């Protein structure tokens, strides 16, 4: 199993456009340029969303393969992780299929979305095939229901605690999607009790994104930063670029020590 990046950048997401921020990358050329800038700023991983000709979210294996090839040439030292996010467009079978056909080194997969059709055994078989294909699956967990479901899958042996990669999403269901460092506490408590050897990361929404990521790094976790979740710097200003958000997290005192030790 690959090691989870210490600082992954998520530069665009599925829904935001240049109306939200003028330099939000939407084309492949823009993503490649952003990846180069963010790697130079300190990011060692990239969370990849692609857009169609109209700027909409798309899961397409061929487009993913082309994008991964271009990014591998531009930033060979970055881990490249594709998204399987549904965005209300794709079902679990389509999500599973695009991951397996694109054959990335890593993919993020929402536990809730994978089980949305009730096909639990299909989801478990998908996770097994990804492991056999050396695709690192990072399970997205949003809240208590996801934690309970993950506990069940670990307890019955459907998933292996030793190979687990997780991302805790802070503030998804808060008013205005404004995360707080305190949102991390239930996730960390659950993890320490259930799967203490798992690799884990945090992403967060809103003006306290930097504080949330600092809290995760201080507790031995990893961070995912970028315009997918927030445009805000810690001082209340809007970042000029994804690379600026990367630099701010890299400058955190605890982050500096954690990166030096990784």
Task: State the Cα–Cα distance between residues 147 and 153, nearest whole angstrom.
Answer: 10
Q: What mean pLDDT do residues 18-34 have? A: 98
Q: What mean pLDDT do residues 69-97 have? A: 97
Task: State the Cα–Cα distance between residues 250 and 42, nearest whole angstrom.
Answer: 7
pLDDT at 261 over 80: no
pLDDT at 259 over 70: no
Please provide the average confidence, as pLDDT, over all residues in the chain.
94
pTM for this entry: 0.95
- Using alpha carbons, list the distances in angstroms from residue 246 to 8, 20, 39, 73, 107: 9, 19, 9, 21, 21
Cβ(95)–Cβ(113) below 8 Å? yes
Helix/strand number for the chain, H first, E second = 10, 10
Cβ(150)–Cβ(179) below 8 Å? no
pLDDT at 260 over 70: no
Angle between helices 144-155 and 185-194 (to 10 degrees): 10
With a CB cutoff of 8 Å and minimum separation 6, the contacts of 9 are: 34, 35, 38, 43, 45, 46, 47, 224, 225, 226, 242, 245, 246
- Per-residue pLDDT reduced to its tens digit, 105-164: 999 999 999 999 999 999 999 999 999 999 999 999 999 999 999 999 999 999 999 889
Q: What percent of the chain has pLDDT over 70?
A: 95
Task: State the Cα–Cα distance between residues 73 and 78, nearest whole angstrom.
Answer: 10
- Per-residue pLDDT reduced to its tens digit, 184-242: 999 999 999 999 999 999 999 999 999 999 999 999 999 999 999 999 999 999 999 99
Tell me the DSSP string of 12-58: STTT--TTT-TT---SHHHHHHHHHHHHHHT--EEEE-EE-TTS-EE
């Amino acid at each position: 199993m690959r090691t989870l990046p210490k600082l992954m950048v998520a530069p665009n997401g599925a829904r935001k456009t240049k109306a939200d921020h003028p330099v939000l990358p939407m084309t492949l050329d823009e993503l490649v340029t952003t990846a180069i800038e963010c790697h130079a700023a300190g990011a060692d991983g990239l969370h990849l969303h692609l857009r169609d000709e109209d700027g909409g979210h798309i899961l397409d294996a061929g487009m993913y393969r082309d994008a991964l090839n271009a990014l591998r040439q531009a930033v060979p030292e970055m881990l490249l992780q594709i998204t399987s996010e549904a965005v209300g467009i794709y079902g679990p079978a389509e999500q599973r299929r695009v991951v397996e056909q694109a054959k990335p080194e890593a993919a993020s997969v929402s536990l809730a979305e994978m089980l949305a059709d009730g096909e639990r055994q299909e989801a478990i078989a998908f996770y097994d095939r990804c492991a056999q294909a050396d695709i690192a699956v990072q399970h997205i967990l949003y809240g208590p229901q996801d934690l309970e479901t993950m506990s069940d899958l670990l307890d019955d042996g459907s998933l292996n605690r030793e190979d687990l990669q997780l991302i805790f999403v802070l503030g998804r269901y808060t008013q205005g999607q404004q995360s707080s460092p305190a949102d991390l506490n239930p996730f960390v408590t659950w993890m320490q009790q259930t799967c203490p050897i798992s690799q884990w990361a945090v992403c967060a929404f809103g003006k306290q994104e930097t504080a949330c990521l600092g809290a995760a790094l201080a507790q031995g976790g990893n961070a995912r930063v970028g315009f997918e979740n927030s445009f805000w710097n810690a001082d209340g200003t809007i970042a000029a670029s994804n690379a600026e958000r990367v630099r701010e997290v890299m400058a955190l005192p605890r982050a500096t020590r954690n990166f030096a030790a990784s």
